[in-house]
Chain A
Amino acid sequence: MQVNEPIIVADNLSFIRNGEVLFNDFSFDVKPGSYVAVIGPNGGGKTTLMRVLLGLTKPTSGSVMIFGRPPTHPEARRRIGYVPQRGGLIDQMFPATAEEVVAAGRAQRDGLRNFFAKNDRHAIDDAFSVMRIEHLKYRPIGSLSGGERQRVLLARALAAEPDLLVLDEPVDGLDPASREEFYDALRRINTLGKTILFVTHDVHRIAREAVSAICLRHELVCHGVKACHISGRRLRNIHHGTRAELAEHHGA
Chain B
Amino acid sequence: MVRAFASGLLLALVAPTIGIFFVVRRYSALADTLAHISLAGIAGGLFLGVSTVWSALVACIIAILGIERLREARTLSSDTVVSLFLFGGLALGVVLIGLHPAGGVNVSNFLFGSILTVTNASVWNILIITLIALGVTAALWRPFFAVSLDEDVAAAGGLPVRFLNRVLAILGAATIAISIDVVGVLLIGALMVIPVLAAMQFRIGFKETWIVSVMISCVSVVGGLTASFYLNLASGATIVLCSIACFTASMLVARFSTNRS
Contact = CB atoms under 8 A, between A and B. Distances in A.
Interface residues of A, number: 40
B205 A100 contact: yes
A44 interface: no
A95 B159 contact: no
29 contacts: A55-B155, A55-B156, A77-B156, A80-B156, A80-B157, A82-B153, A84-B152, A89-B149, A90-B149, A91-B26, A94-B24, A94-B149, A95-B20, A95-B24, A95-B199, A95-B206, A95-B209, A96-B206, A97-B204, A97-B205, A104-B150, A107-B146, A107-B157, A108-B156, A111-B143, A111-B159, A114-B141, A140-B203, A156-B153
B139 interface: yes
B157 A95 contact: no
Contacts of A110: 142
A56 B152 contact: yes
B139 to A, nearest CB: 6
Given A95-B209, A96-B145, A105-B157, 7 more contacts: A78-B157, A93-B200, A97-B205, A100-B207, A103-B142, A107-B142, A111-B143
Interface string B122-157: 000000000000000011111101100111111111
Contacts of A94: 24, 149
Main secondary structure of the interface of B (DSSP, over half): helix
Interface residues of B, number: 31
A73 B172 CA distance: 30
B158 interface: yes
Interface in B174-203: 199-200, 203
A169 to B, nearest CB: 14
A88 B150 contact: yes
B76 to A, nearest CB: 17
Contacts of B151: 89
Contacts, number: 104
A195 to B, nearest CB: 15
Contact of A140 (B139, B160, B205, B207): B205
A6 B135 CA distance: 44
A244 interface: no
B169 to A, nearest CB: 17
Given A91-B24, A95-B209, A104 B156 contact: no
Contacts of B143: 107, 111-112, 114
Most buried by B among A80, A93, A142: A93
A74 interface: yes
Contacts of A156: 153
A120 B128 CA distance: 34
A74 B159 CA distance: 9
Contact of B157 (A97, A108, A112, A138): A108
Contact of A82 (B24, B157, B203, B206): B157
Contacts of B157: 77-78, 80-82, 105, 107-108, 160
A58 B209 CA distance: 38
Nearest to A113: B142
A101 interface: yes
B145 A100 contact: yes
B205 A95 contact: yes
Contacts of B138: 114
A104 B147 CA distance: 9
B158 A143 contact: no
Nearest to A82: B156
A127 interface: no
Contacts of B209: 95
Interface in A32-66: 54-56
A81 B157 CA distance: 7
